[in-house]
Amino acid sequence: MKLELHKQLETRMENTIEALKVEFTTIRAGRANAQMLDKVRVDYYGTLTPVNQIGAISVPEPRTLLISPWDKTALADIEKAIRTADLGLNPTNDGEVIRISVPMLTEERRKELAKRASKVSEEFKVRVRNDRRDSNDKLKKMEKDGEITEDELKKSQDEVQKITDKYIKNIETLLANKEKDIMEV
């Protein structure tokens, strides 16, 4: 029962790490990548639709994104959605495709993005700590219900803390890598 709880905790925390990695891909680091547009939603026939479901996104050059919509009538809507998404990008529409030139990041913008990455990582650390609290609460209930002894409770809580420390360290490593990526010129 305890081991199952530890496995569930590891799985939840692993999912949190994967979600953080996805979140970090949306914070740009000076190079173009299609994930930069993951959070952009286009008003497409009255429905907010992710831009990657309206057209193909490619990276023909390190600092250029190219969006080829399947429906050319959506070009203006896609362009508007990107402008209003607060990504610091300026799309150009040539009637066939949308080109986005990813500008070099200023020192101020780099610091801003690094701060945002730090804030995001803090939110994910809170998720990990909440998972720890939930697991410890389950363990205390198991001890109260007589399913485990007080010694087993202590050992299990120590194991939960070790798992938590491992994932917090993992988040800190991901943040350090992302900050390094952002601050690179």
Residues 36-41: contacts with CB under 8 Å, at least 24 apart: 36/65, 36/87, 36/89, 36/102, 37/65, 37/67, 37/82, 37/85, 37/87, 39/85, 40/81, 40/82, 40/85, 40/87, 41/81
**What are the tens digits of pLDDT across the range 151-162?**
999 999 999 999
Distances (CA, A) of 131 to 87, 161, 164: 32, 11, 8
Give the mean model confidence (pLDDT) for residues 90-106.
85
Tokens linked to 55: 């057209």
Contact between 127 and 115 (Cβ < 8 Å): no
Is residue 105 predicted with pLDDT exceeding 80?
no
Q: Is the confidence at residue 182, as pLDDT, over 90?
A: no
Average pLDDT over residues 171-184: 89
For residue 104, the 8-state DSSP code is: P
More confident residue, 30 or 73: 73
Distance from C-alpha of 85 to C-alpha of 170, rounded to nearest angstrom: 30
Secondary structure (DSSP) of 29-77: -SS--GGGGTT-EEEETTEEEEGGGTEEEEEEETTEEEEEESSGGGHHH
The pLDDT of residue 166 is 96
175 with 118: CB under 8 angstroms?
yes
User: According to the model, what pLDDT value does residue 167 have?
Assistant: 96
pLDDT averaged over every residue in the chain: 88
Do 138 and 156 meet the contact criterion of CB atoms below 8 Å apart? Answer: no
For the cut 80, the answer to whether the pLDDT of residue 32 exceeds it is no
Does residue 82 contact residue 91 with C-beta atoms inside 8 Å?
yes
At residue 95, the pLDDT reads: 85
Report whether 66 contacts 98 (CB < 8 A).
yes
81 and 42 in contact (C-beta within 8 Å)? Answer: yes
